[in-house]
Amino acid sequence: MRSSFSDLGLSETTLESLREVGYEAPSPIQEQAIPPLLEGRDVIGQAQTGTGKTAAFGLPMMEYVDPRVSEVQALVLTPTRELCIQVTQALRAYGHAKGVDVVAVFGGAPIKTQQAQLRGGGHVVVGTVGRVLDLIGRHALLLHDCRFVVLDEADEMLDLGFLEDVERILSLTPSGRQTALFSATMPAPVRELADRYLYDPIFVRVEAQTLTIDTVAQFQLAVDGQSKPDLLAQVLEAERAGAGGNQAIVFVRTKVRCEQLLKALQAKGLNVRALHGDMTQGARDGVMLAFKAGRVPVLIATDVAARGLDISTVTHVINYDVPTSPDIYVHRIGRTGRVGRSGRAITFVEPRQKRELDAIERHIGTSIAPWERGAPGTVTPVSERPRRHSKPHIGRDGSEPMVKLVLRGGRAAGLRVSDLISAITSATGLAGEAISDVSVLDRYSFVSVPESEAAKVLDALAGRRVRGRPLLAERVAS
């Protein structure tokens, strides 16, 4: 094992930038990914947020870029605006000593301003998929000299229905480019994308013990749907989740659920805020800043909106809705227990969600202990409660039961992956993260949904029209 960045083959200029930002030793993903990237190899990196993957691809990128050449030489695609900004800030720090200009392009900001920034320079462009395509269509972003491409959080791009657009962007870059793909999980569509667009890639992965969450005590709480808001308020109080400097993130599946719960808790006098995709970008930025500053003790959030939140003071994660996949569960509870601190994760489980909980327990390799309140009128201090640590491992083991659906209509009807995901989520309230293996053929399309939600999805799609055509869906015969 190497013990310093200088052992990885980085230049003195890049090492100087690292000293300026206070980096001392490389993380495991950096140790594994930086050398092959410096050699010009394509790389697939399986790593979760918080493992240092931005530096893993960003440092070799800084070595590659020539600030004397004005064209765009490198492109980083991100699924969300928040991650785009986060990556841009890091790359600017890495490239400061060398004079590398990094431009961020994303939706929710004036496109003319971003066009002007691109005209003024931009050795490296970091962008969300939709805005990058828009700028390409306006001939404001030219990629013919782009020799280094990074796909960051590719599984999230899949969940949001962006993979087809990602392929369009890749097709506009030079065939001899160097490509790096990073993803917390490796579902089949992401692997297929890598097979098509990466050449003889090196696969690097953070070992399981590095990604285990051994500082998080995990609990489950049986609930019924009607009493959940009241019970949540009681749990927050009992855990002192919003007091004494503690902070909690409450995860819900849908935007509608997020707003409903916000109103219910505010009516009880709690200081809570919400974060979801239907909010204006200004509102989302305000909430995130307030939460990071500690002015908001409890945040209610959807999974996509909370991507990029990396706050060491979060002491509690509460899964108000059981996550739709074990991987999402691991991502959620990884928001607490950071930087050597202990954290607590409590999952509300309705009777119909028992199967999903079973899949999570199989995935993490341990049972989740029941959460217990103290005797009536008393609260057992958090520090005195017995802790049960589990070590969830990243990586899908196939235990989650899914059902494949076939829908009439495909590319010939103008359908896209994002159309299908949008139709299903808006009709059912199902989170986009729960939908997988979406493929659009010429006349038919396929999508997989959790078995427990399949009947609801079929009922909701009956008669629904997308791009003027009815979506006729049925189960694929097994």
Asked if 59 and 93 sit in the same domain, the reply is yes
C-beta of residue 63 within 8 angstroms of C-beta of residue 10: yes
Confidence at residue 102, expressed as pLDDT on a 0 to 100 scale: 95
Asked if 462 and 371 sit in the same domain, the reply is no
Could you tell me which residue, 309 or 89, shows the higher pLDDT? 89
- Banded pLDDT at 265 (limits 50, 70, 90): very high
Other beta carbons within 10 Å of 60: 31
In angstroms, rounded to a whole number, what is the distance separating the alpha carbons of residues 179 and 181? 7
DSSP helix/strand/coil, 183: strand
Confidence at residue 478, expressed as pLDDT on a 0 to 100 scale: 47
Asked if 18 and 167 sit in the same domain, the reply is yes
Asked if 163 and 113 sit in the same domain, the reply is yes
> Would 391 be classed as within a structural domain?
no
Domain boundary (164, 182, 209) is at 209
Measured N-to-C along each axis, helices 12-21 and 53-64 cross at an angle, to the nearest 10 degrees, of 140
> Would 333 be classed as within a structural domain?
yes
In angstroms, rounded to a whole number, what is the distance separating the alpha carbons of residues 29 and 183? 12
Residue type, 443: R
> Would 126 be classed as within a structural domain?
yes
Confidence at residue 49, expressed as pLDDT on a 0 to 100 scale: 63
Asked if 449 and 467 sit in the same domain, the reply is yes
Question: Which residue shows structure tokens 């079929």?
Answer: 458
Mean pLDDT, residues 397-416 taken together: 71
Confidence at residue 434, expressed as pLDDT on a 0 to 100 scale: 66
Above pLDDT 90, what percent of the chain?
35
CATH number at residue 430: 3.30.70.330
Confidence at residue 213, expressed as pLDDT on a 0 to 100 scale: 55
Closest CA to 348 of 211, 431, 226: 226
* pLDDT tens digits, one per residue of 332-357: 887 787 655 678 999 999 888 887 88
Could you tell me which residue, 264 or 288, shows the higher pLDDT? 264
Confidence at residue 121, expressed as pLDDT on a 0 to 100 scale: 82
- Cβ neighbours of residue 409 closer than 8 Å, sequence gap 6 or more: 415, 443, 444, 445, 466, 469, 471, 472
Asked if 217 and 331 sit in the same domain, the reply is yes
Instruction: Give the Cα-Cα-Cα angle 372, 376, 378 (nearest 5 degrees).
Output: 80
C-beta of residue 445 within 8 angstroms of C-beta of residue 467: no
Mean pLDDT, residues 319-337 taken together: 81
> Would 389 be classed as within a structural domain?
no
> Would 342 be classed as within a structural domain?
yes
Closest CA to 361 of 322, 316, 392: 392
- Banded pLDDT at 57 (limits 50, 70, 90): very high
Domain boundary (167, 189, 209) is at 209
| Structural domain span for residue 432 | 402-475
If you average pLDDT over every residue of the chain, what do you get?
A: 81
Asked if 452 and 308 sit in the same domain, the reply is no
Q: Lowest-confidence range among 126-130, 137-141, 325-329?
A: 325-329
In angstroms, rounded to a whole number, what is the distance separating the alpha carbons of residues 91 and 96? 8
The end-to-end CA distance of the chain, in Å, is 48
Asked if 224 and 141 sit in the same domain, the reply is no
Domain boundary (352, 384, 416) is at 384
> Would 393 be classed as within a structural domain?
no
Asked if 133 and 155 sit in the same domain, the reply is yes
- DSSP letters, 300-359, are EE-TTTTTT---TTEEEEEESS--SSHHHHHHHHTTSS-TT--EEEEEEE-GGGHHHHHH
The pTM of the full predicted model, rounded to 2 decimals, is 0.52
CATH number at residue 279: 3.40.50.300
Split into its structural domains, the chain has a count of 3
Answer whether residue 63 shows pLDDT above 50: yes
Q: Lowest-confidence range among 81-85, 115-119, 355-359, 420-424?
A: 420-424
Q: Lowest-confidence range among 180-194, 230-244, 363-377?
A: 363-377
> Would 390 be classed as within a structural domain?
no
In angstroms, rounded to a whole number, what is the distance separating the alpha carbons of residues 161 and 100? 32
Asked if 239 and 317 sit in the same domain, the reply is yes
Closest CA to 257 of 292, 202, 303, 194: 303
Asked if 370 and 442 sit in the same domain, the reply is no
Confidence at residue 427, expressed as pLDDT on a 0 to 100 scale: 74
Asked if 254 and 301 sit in the same domain, the reply is yes
Question: Which residue shows structure tokens 């009922």?
Answer: 459
Could you tell me which residue, 244 or 98, shows the higher pLDDT? 98
- Banded pLDDT at 73 (limits 50, 70, 90): very high
